Amino acid sequence: MEGLERLAILAKTDENSLAELVESQKQWILRTASKSAGRYITDSDDEWSTALLAFTEAVRDYEEEKGSFPAFASVVIRRRLLDQLRSDSRRSAELTVTPAAFEGSLEEDEAGGLELRVQGRVAEEAAREAARSDAALEIEAARQLLEPYGISFFDLAEASPKAEKTKRACRDAVRTLLADELLLARLRKARALPIKELSAASGVQKKILDRHRRYIIAAAELLAGDFPIIADYLDYIRRE
């Protein structure tokens, strides 16, 4: 287990360790918050409080099998900040578009209906923007997670198995990795696929594992982590 992951596990149950972890990672939390908000964030901004609570939540929820702690924590922080942005956008719409704005020109029912329609459009656009932002944030977190393996997230399309038989073999290999904590731990410690052991446990030929090792590693780490949008593209691995 890497040093930061070990500290996060310790901080789950020890308040002093949590305080020390937060202090040591304060600048990283602020950088992550700034990237998520699209502007420079300091510890005097409301976003800092949200990011700090999200970081603490990430510590509480973190498990070793979820992979890199920074990648996991960054997803939690960014999602909480997006939730705050959506909430602020809805409040803004409610405050700026009210029936009083149409006094003298519309009946009360018509004004209320228009208010609801405008609020609905604002909410729909916010939801679309949030979905785009969530996907972008997951991709960035996935990039950070896979970087220690020397794998680029954007190389995965090229590394993906094309033939149905090979696809099934890779699925079996990934499932075996996810079900075997010892193999998964060995993968993370060595930053390399334990081909011999995985072949014996899964029944998949070594040459297939070697040829598609980047895809198998990435799929296992992404499915073991908190990547719901990306995981949809790997749903065939989970399906029976």
**Do residues 174 and 220 make contact, with C-beta atoms less than 8 angstroms apart?**
yes
- Tell me the C-alpha distance between 107 and 105, whole Å: 7
**Contacts of the segment 53-59: beta carbons below 8 A, 24+ positions apart:** 53/80, 54/79, 54/80, 54/81, 55/22, 55/25, 55/29, 56/18, 56/22, 58/8, 59/8, 59/11, 59/12, 59/18, 59/21
pLDDT digits (tens, 9 = 90+) for 109-124: 444 454 444 445 544 5
79 token code pair: 């999602």
- Tell me the C-alpha distance between 34 and 40, whole Å: 5
**DSSP, residue by residue, 48-116:** HHHHHHHHHHHHHH--GGG--HHHHHHHHHHHHHHHHHHHHHHHHHHHHS-GGGGTTTS-HHHHHHHHH
pTM score of the predicted model: 0.53
**Phi, psi dihedral angles at 207 (to 5 degrees):** -65, -30
Rounded mean pLDDT, 1-13? 82
Question: Which has more pLDDT, 109 or 191?
Answer: 191
**For the chain, which residues make up each domain, given as ranges?**
3-149, 153-238
Residue 159: its pLDDT value, please?
A: 79
**Phi, psi dihedral angles at 225 (to 5 degrees):** -95, -165
Please give the span between the terminal C-alpha atoms of the chain, in angstroms, as a whole number: 32
**Do residues 66 and 4 make contact, with C-beta atoms less than 8 angstroms apart?**
no
pLDDT digits (tens, 9 = 90+) for 174-189: 999 999 999 999 999 9
* pLDDT more than 70, % of the chain: 78
Cβ-based neighbours of 222, under 8 Å, separated by 6 or more? 142, 145, 230, 231, 234
